[in-house]
């Protein structure tokens, strides 16, 4: 029986790695073509292009490993079915759980590898690729689009249009002072820039408005101290994607901004995804193995590869949609992360029970 375990383990490991290599190669070539023209400004050579795309490969591997496990399991079990090895093992008394045990071993190794990638490799490789792209051009400020970045401290509302890469310079700042119950505005400050100096913020080129019942008074100043609790390190996190952050950084940023971000859950969402995503591969294995064993002659390996791609795309679409809803403030980040996984886990459990 040890030989059978070894056969199942080595086959699963081989085909999962083969699929992973193919997927990475396809993404690498696609990125080379897509980024060949560079960031549209600055100096961009062939060497920088290959270095930039290579630095993105750890993140790509982190993303597609569950899909590689899914397709690898489909291919391997389909091949074993073709040569009746699965039938022989079943006749020898192997249950579905016993048959899947070596495959889950590969899934556990993949989950551990994904944790290592997500915490100690991807945050640094992705940050290096972003810096490489930024340094090839001239942009040093992160724009937040037409909506800008909304923050809240106490009753004060802050709107920031852009922040520098070091988090110590802001552009186009609006500070609103609403009346109790949000029944109106008591005042507003508009500033062109803000700068962090010696542990304190300073507003520059500002105009302040006092809104009364019958009139509006305005005052202009060149510079004024700004007493607000905005950590440059936290602001700097908005200039990079969450993939460049470790779990500790995600947790700290989410904690610092609890109750301060309007309709913005991206740190909490990324934190929950970082914890749960490495286990998706195990769910995919549990989902597809009973499907193939129950229908061993349905279309062959090509059919099951297509079915696996459909399952993987469906899971990705579901997680993306729930993530968008969560970031918009519709549902909690934990729920947005766990519901898609729970749905696929429930389907896998149902298939396991039905096969028994």
Q: Is 93 exposed, middle or buried (0-12, 13-18, 19+ CB in 10 A)?
A: exposed
Ranges 141-155, 239-253, 314-328: which has the least confidence: 141-155
Closest C-alpha to 295, from 74, 18, 92: 74
pLDDT attached to residue 263: 38
Q: What are phi and psi of 57, to 5 degrees?
A: -65, -40
pLDDT over 80 (residue 355)? no
Cα atoms in the 13 Å half-sphere on the side-chain side of 278: 16
Query: Per-residue pLDDT tens for 27-37?
Result: 999 999 998 88
**198-220 average pLDDT score:** 88
Query: Containing H/E element for 303?
Result: helix 300-327
Most confident of 99-108, 239-248, 308-317: 99-108
Mean pLDDT of the chain: 84
Q: By the 8 A CB rule, do 272 and 97 touch?
A: no
Q: What is the DSSP letter of 333?
A: H
Q: By the 8 A CB rule, do 156 and 177 touch?
A: yes
Alpha helix segments (H runs only) across 172-265: 232-237, 247-256
pTM strictly above 0.85: no
Q: What is the DSSP letter of 117?
A: I
Which residue has better confidence, 242 or 53? Answer: 53
pLDDT over 60 (residue 137)? no
Q: By the 8 A CB rule, do 60 and 27 touch?
A: yes
**303-332 average pLDDT score:** 80
């Amino acid at each position: 029986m040890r030989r059978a375990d070894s056969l199942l383990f080595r086959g699963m490991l081989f085909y999962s790695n083969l699929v992973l290599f193919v997927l990475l190669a396809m993404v690498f070539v696609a990125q080379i073509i897509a980024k060949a023209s560079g960031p549209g400004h600055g100096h961009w050579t062939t060497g920088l292009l290959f270095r930039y795309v290579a630095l993105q490969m750890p993140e790509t591997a982190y993303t597609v490993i569950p899909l590689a496990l899914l397709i690898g399991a489909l291919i391997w079990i389909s091949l074993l079915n073709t040569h009746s090895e699965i039938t022989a093992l079943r006749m020898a008394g192997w249950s579905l759980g016993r048959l899947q045990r070596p495959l889950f071993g590969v899934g556990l190794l993949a989950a551990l590898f994904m944790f290592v990638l997500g915490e100690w490799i991807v945050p640094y490789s992705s940050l290096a690729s972003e810096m490489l792209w930024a340094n090839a051009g001239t942009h040093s400020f992160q724009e937040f689009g037409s909506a800008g970045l909304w923050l809240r401290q106490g009753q004060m509302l802050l709107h920031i249009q852009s922040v520098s890469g070091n988090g110590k310079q802001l552009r186009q700042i609006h500070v609103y002072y609403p009346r109790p119950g949000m029944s109106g505005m008591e005042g507003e400050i508009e500033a062109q820039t803000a700068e962090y100096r010696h542990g304190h913020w300073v507003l520059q080129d500002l105009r302040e408005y006092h809104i009364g019942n019958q009139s509006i008074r305005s005052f202009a100043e060149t510079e004024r101290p700004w007493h607000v609790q905005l950590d440059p390190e936290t602001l700097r996190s908005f200039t990079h994607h969450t993939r460049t952050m470790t779990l500790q950084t995600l947790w700290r940023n989410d904690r610092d901004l609890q109750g301060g971000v309007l309709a913005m859950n991206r740190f909490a969402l990324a934190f929950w995804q970082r914890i749960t995503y490495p286990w998706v591969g195990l769910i995919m294995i549990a989902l597809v193995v009973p499907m193939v064993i129950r229908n061993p002659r349905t279309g062959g390996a090509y059919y099951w590869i297509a079915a696996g791609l459909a399952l993987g795309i469906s899971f990705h679409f579901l997680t993306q949609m729930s993530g968008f809803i969560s970031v918009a403030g519709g549902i909690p980040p934990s729920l947005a992360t766990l519901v898609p996984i729970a749905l696929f886990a429930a389907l896998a459990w149902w298939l396991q029970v039905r096969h028994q």
